[in-house]
Amino acid sequence: MAKIIAITNQKGGVGKTTITFNLAKGLASRGYNVLAIDNDPQGNLTTSILEKPEDLEADILNIFKEQFDFKPQKITNNLDLIGATIKLAEVADNVNMYLPLLIKTYLTGDDNSENIADNYDYIIIDCLPSFGPLNVAALIAADFVLVPTKPAPFAIQGLVSLFKNIVMLKKHNFNRSLKIAGIVMNLVEKTNIHKDLEKELKSQYNDMVFEFSISKGTKLEESPYYGESVMEYAPDTKQTKQFNGFIREFLRRVE
Ligand SMILES: Nc1ncnc2c1ncn2[C@@H]1O[C@H](COP(=O)(O)OP(=O)(O)O)[C@@H](O)[C@H]1O
Ligand SMILES: [Mg+2]
């Protein structure tokens, strides 16, 4: 059965979607069967993977409406997608009691549906920047959380409340076996403040922090526009090297 990874941080703009996209593509290119799930009404992961948003055939909205009789959309040989559109925002505004359970039920089967998770090695869920019910739905389904952050004072302070929420989620039995894959530093630049903040993060979170961080780079920012991972789009860049290192480390941490 697949390992399910929720990529989460209630702060926006830290690189959740960028990391989900490159991790999903990178794992698929290594031969793993991957399902990428967009759980953000902004739909940025969806538009990075599909040429046109109207090409979306498998919408996460179906999961939250309990319409489980659909399959993820085939993108390549071993990469599938469940995408999102702005309509997902309506769900977030009309929460019912069991909504947080629905991603798990869809992926790991209820009484009659087949087990979707059996078809994959990795399921990567890109989360929206909030700690509301949609995010909780991803965390209940997940085996691991992966937390991107950036070297900015407020971003690092924000991790305290994120991890507090994860502890509460476990404590109250929402998902006792949820594990932390780690914190990955993104948008790093060679400035003194960034070096200091990276040091601070490592002293607070020790081994939880990935050895490989991702630097800020134009090619990485451009690549989703062309539907390519940075490894495909700009193989000779520092970010490609870093992503390859990050993916190796990711595999080591979740194996
Ligand atoms: N390492 C990076 N170098 C350059 N631009 C980046 C990098 N990581 C993310 N970005 C850009 O920053 C913005 C926010 O990233 P995104 O992945 O959408 O964050 P989130 O999903 O957390 O909101 C996007 O425009 C993205 O292209
Ligand atoms: Mg995003």
Q: Which of 85, 137, 136, 128 is nearest to 108 (CA)?
A: 137
Determine the pLDDT at residue 111: 58
**Cα 14 to ligand 1 centroid, rounded to whole Å:** 6
From the CA of 9, the nearest ligand is 1
**Cα 118 to ligand 1 centroid, rounded to whole Å:** 31
Determine the pLDDT at residue 112: 55
Token duo for residue 16: 């959740």
Domain CATH for 177: 3.40.50.300
- Residues 6 or more apart whose CB falls under 8 angstroms from that of 10 comprise 129, 130, 131, 135, 158, 161, 162
**Cα 50 to ligand 2 centroid, rounded to whole Å:** 15
Q: How many domains does the chain have?
A: 1
From the CA of 148, the nearest ligand is 1
Classify the C-alpha dihedral 205-40-93-71 as positive or negative.
negative
Please choose from 221, 230, 242 the residue to mutate so as to test ligand 1's pocket, defined by most ligand atoms within 8 A of CB: 221
For ligand 2, a single-atom ion, the residues with CB < 5 A are 16-17, 44
Determine the Cα–Cα distance for residues 165 and 162; give it in Å rounded to an integer.
5
Please report, for residues 24, 186, 224, 231, the alpha-carbon distance to residue 239 in angstroms, rounded to integers and kept in the order given.
Answer: 16, 10, 14, 8
Q: Which atom of ligand 1 is nearest to the CA of 188?
A: 1
Range of the domain at 122: 3-254
Decide: 214 and 245 in contact? Cβ < 8 Å: no
Determine the Cα–Cα distance for residues 133 and 106; give it in Å rounded to an integer.
16
Determine the pLDDT at residue 94: 80
Determine the pLDDT at residue 96: 85
**pTM of the shown model:** 0.97
Sheet with 179-185, strands from edge to edge, namely: 73-76, 79-82, 34-39, 122-127, 3-7, 144-149, 179-185
**Cα 19 to ligand 2 centroid, rounded to whole Å:** 9
Lining ligand 1 with CB less than 6 A are: 12-18, 44, 129, 186-187, 214, 216-217, 220-221
Decide: 82 and 63 in contact? Cβ < 8 Å: yes
How confident is the prediction along the chain (255 residues), in pLDDT tens digits per residue? Answer: 899 999 999 999 999 999 999 999 999 999 999 999 999 999 999 999 998 889 999 999 999 999 999 999 999 999 999 999 999 999 878 888 899 999 999 999 865 567 899 999 999 999 999 889 999 999 999 999 999 999 998 898 889 999 999 999 999 999 999 999 999 999 999 999 999 999 999 999 999 999 999 999 999 999 999 999 999 999 999 999 999 999 999 999 999
Task: Write down how long the chain is.
Answer: 255
Determine the pLDDT at residue 110: 66
Residue nearest (by alpha carbon) to ligand 1 atom 15: 15
Determine the Cα–Cα distance for residues 40 and 45; give it in Å rounded to an integer.
8
Residue nearest (by alpha carbon) to ligand 1 atom 3: 216
Q: Which helix (H) or strand (E) holds 247?
A: helix 238-254
